[in-house]
């Protein structure tokens, strides 16, 4: 038996169709969701991400603004752009592409984004709301992981979920979301003793550490759901995840490929957050 593949591209496509229909119905009320994406500097990977975000907006009929600023932009200049976008009625979501150049303090920038437009879910108030269980905007990759589970019939309720990684962007928030979905959650990291033994106890494994092919077949309980958030580039230029796919697929019940698993969900959830924010802004 080999694992069933969780097709993130197909599921993301389904959600985008749902978003598109909602956006069309909003447009009859004169409401058009708007996203502002801010890129500072010329990081090549960031340029691709930003282009894809603008393209997704176009496909869904959203309004979008892309602000490309030079690497020499000062923190004050960036903060004043954010203040302007915070006040702009046609903008419902603001995303500042990370990483930022070293002379700009990331926290000051994230803190400056109006919470109701924080479509990344990185603002401390958004994080607090996530923890408390409010209906706040949720960070995109973690909420994409939850959608993949639910839309393949793998409800987290009552399951043991093991999350490998404790980053602010994925590990911590996905753990909280799994807890909110009534899973029993174990968070593992570089100091966890006997990681394979902990992972072996999991019904759901979420790998988000950035170590290529870390999770092996004999770490995984037969039939477990394995979600691979890792995106690592190998010396030969190929992408691979944090899960050794060839080794794990024969053991797992469900598995996400890399690419084509979690990746396509992230921008889709960003679009969903922008739509939610637009609906809230217009009552």
Beta-carbon contacts of 169 under 8 Å, excluding residues fewer than 6 positions away, are: 122, 139, 141
Is 120 a known active-site residue? yes
Nearer to ligand GUN, 97 or 143 (CB): 97
User: Which region, judged by CB under 6 A, interacts with ligand GUN, from 53-61, 90-98, 208-216, 243-251?
Assistant: 90-98
- 72-76: long-range pairs with CB below 8 Å, 24+: 73/40, 73/101, 73/104, 74/103, 74/104, 75/103, 75/104, 75/105, 75/108, 75/109
Strand ranges (E), 7-156? 34-40, 63-69, 93-96
- Residue selected from 98, 115, 211, 281 as contacting ligand GUN according to rule CB under 6 A: 98
166 annotated as belonging to a binding site for a ligand: yes
Answer whether the bond into residue 91 is a cis peptide, omega within 30°.
Answer: no
- Residue selected from 73, 92, 97, 273 as contacting ligand GUN according to rule CB under 6 A: 97
Tell me how far apart the alpha carbons of residues 163 and 78 are, in angstroms, rounded to a whole number: 35
Number of residues that bind ligand GUN (CB under 6 A): 6
Catalytic residue among 117, 118, 120, 159: 120
Tell me how far apart the alpha carbons of residues 107 and 114 are, in angstroms, rounded to a whole number: 13
165 annotated as belonging to a binding site for a ligand: yes
Q: Decide: is 66 part of the binding site for ligand GUN (CB under 6 A).
A: no
Q: Which of residues 123-142 bind ligand GUN (CB under 6 A)?
A: 140
Q: Decide: is 120 part of the binding site for ligand GUN (CB under 6 A).
A: yes
Cβ atoms of 93 and 269 within 8 Å: the answer is: no
Catalytic residue among 4, 43, 75, 97: 97
Is 236 a known active-site residue? no
Q: What residue has token string 């092919």?
A: 213
Is 29 a known active-site residue? no
- Residue selected from 12, 40, 82, 96 as contacting ligand GUN according to rule CB under 6 A: 96
185 annotated as belonging to a binding site for a ligand: no
167 annotated as belonging to a binding site for a ligand: yes
Residues belonging to the active site: 53, 97, 120
Binding site for ligand GUN (CB under 6 A): 95-98, 120, 140
């Amino acid at each position: 038996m080999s694992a069933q593949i969780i097709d993130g591209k197909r599921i993301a496509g389904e959600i985008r169709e749902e978003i598109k229909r909602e956006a069309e119905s909003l447009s009859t009320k004169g409401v058009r969701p708007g996203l502002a994406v801010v890129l500072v500097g010329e990081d090549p990977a960031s340029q691709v991400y930003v282009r894809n975000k603008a393209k997704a907006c176009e496909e869904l009929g959203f309004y979008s603004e892309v602000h490309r600023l030079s690497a020499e932009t000062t923190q004050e200049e960036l903060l004043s752009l954010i203040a302007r976008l915070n006040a702009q009625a046609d903008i419902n979501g603001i995303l500042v592409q990370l990483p930022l150049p070293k002379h700009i303090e990331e926290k000051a920038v994230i803190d400056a984004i109006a919470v109701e437009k924080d479509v990344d879910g990185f603002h401390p108030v958004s994080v607090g709301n996530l923890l408390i269980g409010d209906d706040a905007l949720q960070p995109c990759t973690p909420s994409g992981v939850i959608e993949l589970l639910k839309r393949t019939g793998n409800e987290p309720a009552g399951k043991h979920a093991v999350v490998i990684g404790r980053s602010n962007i994925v590990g911590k928030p996905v753990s909280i979301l799994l807890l909110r979905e009534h899973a029993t959650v174990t968070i593992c990291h570089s100091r966890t003793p006997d990681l394979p033994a902990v992972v072996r106890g999991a019904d759901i494994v979420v790998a988000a550490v950035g170590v290529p092919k870390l999770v092996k077949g004999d770490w995984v309980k037969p039939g477990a759901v394995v979600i691979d958030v890792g995106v690592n580039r190998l010396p030969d230029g190929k992408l691979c995840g944090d899960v050794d796919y060839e080794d794990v697929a024969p053991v797992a019940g469900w598995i996400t490929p890399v690419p084509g698993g979690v990746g396509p969900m992230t921008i889709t959830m960003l679009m969903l957050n922008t739509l939610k924010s637009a609906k809230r802004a217009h009552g």
